[in-house]
Copies of this chain bind each other. A is one copy, B any other.
Amino acid sequence: MTPTIKDVARQAKTSKSTVSRFLNGIPVNKKTEEAIIKAIEELNYHPNMNARRLVMDKTQEIGIIVDDISNRFYSPILKGIGEVLDANGYSAVYYTWNKSKRRETDFLRLLYEEQVDGLIYVSFARRDQADVEQMREAPFPVVLFGDNAGVDDIHTVDVDNFSGIVELVHYLYRIGHRHIAYIAGPDDIGATKYRSAGYVSAMESLGLAMNPDWICTSDWSNQGGYTAMKKLLQSRGFTAVIASNDESALGAMTCLQEQGYSIPRDFSVVGFDDIDIAQWIFPALTTVRQPFEQMGQTAAQFLLDCIDKKPMDSNRRRLLKPELIIRNSSSNPN
């Protein structure tokens, strides 16, 4: 049988309460303290968390719900979350799920079942309004990344997708491009509409023509970018391609290179995200960097403030600014 607080008490010749107090940092007699430490050591005692949580109604754990746990650009987000939680005495527990069988809202159960003190949803997929409303009704704090489905009174963190693409268009314009193609993202991602809107808005404000043949959609995979580029190449006249994420930008570059084109001599290609590999492909990819780590920190701080019922800014949706990273996949057109 695994030892309990009672066994420790007996061994240390004191009572359960005293041991419990010691375990919770409440000062006890120096002499008994030593005896308790010795007993814990000898018995290899570990507190039973389930019992503790049952009586405390608190876990000191935050559930992080991740739709794709190995998504490389979630890494700095998770790092940012972890830092803030750590500094505040909370630990992070990660959950992920099989998209076909479960839904994000299934994890609200963790809150009701008192397995965690709060939840952070890390996903950039588009959400249903009903789901987000359900999250808002949860008995403990919930913070989201990405799409809030128009529900403004739930805490959300996202990057400013619109202005990120606007920056790219302006940059390409600045170095001389006037004919810019665009590879849009999939409809099931919340950011897609904002990025596309950024393209349209910037092109219009610069007075650049938008040829419908120069706009294509990809599913944001390498393959998707490859296929989109192939289609784009059926029409001519553009000198630059904005892929709405780095992965499809990579696919697009591969397609171009396979056809014998040189980047950026024949075409400039730019992406969005700044994934790790972006600087390691050849040529290195010009892109827009998302402030992932900062986003993670923001989300965690949001959540902790909710838990502590701190007075908060009334604006519950925070959009962080992305940063233009210029590398070698873009240059003046000839």
Give me the interface of A with B, judged by CB distance under 8 Å.
2, 44, 46-51, 53-54, 68-75, 78, 82, 86, 92-96, 98, 109, 112-115, 139, 222, 226, 250-251, 253-254, 257-258, 276-277, 280-282
Contact = CB atoms under 8 A, between A and B. Distances in A.
A273 to B, nearest CB: 13
Nearest to A45: B112
A104 to B, nearest CB: 15
Nearest to A253: B282
Total copies of this chain within the assembly: 2
A266 to B, nearest CB: 14
Contact of A47 (B47, B113, B257, B281): B113
Nearest to A93: B93
A76 to B, nearest CB: 9
16 contacts: A48-B54, A48-B114, A49-B113, A49-B115, A50-B50, A50-B114, A69-B69, A69-B70, A69-B75, A70-B72, A78-B96, A86-B98, A253-B282, A254-B282, A258-B282, A281-B281
A251 B98 CA distance: 33
Contacts of A82: 96, 98
A39 to B, nearest CB: 16
Instruction: Give the 6 A-B CB pairs with smallest separation, nearest first.
Output: A70-B75, A46-B112, A94-B94, A50-B53, A222-B280, A49-B113
Nearest to A82: B98
Nearest to A53: B50
Contact of A93 (B71, B95, B276): B95
Find the residue from A50, A73, A258 having the highest chain B CB count within 10 A.
A50
Contacts of A250: 277, 280-281
A223 to B, nearest CB: 8
A222 B277 contact: yes
A44 B139 CA distance: 11
Contacts of A78: 69-70, 96
A158 to B, nearest CB: 19
A27 B74 CA distance: 45
Contacts of A254: 280-282
A5 B278 CA distance: 54
A69 B94 contact: yes
Contacts of A93: 93-95
A54 B50 contact: yes
Given A69-B78, A70-B70, 14 more contacts: A2-B112, A44-B112, A49-B50, A50-B114, A68-B75, A70-B72, A70-B74, A72-B72, A78-B96, A92-B96, A93-B94, A222-B280, A250-B277, A258-B282
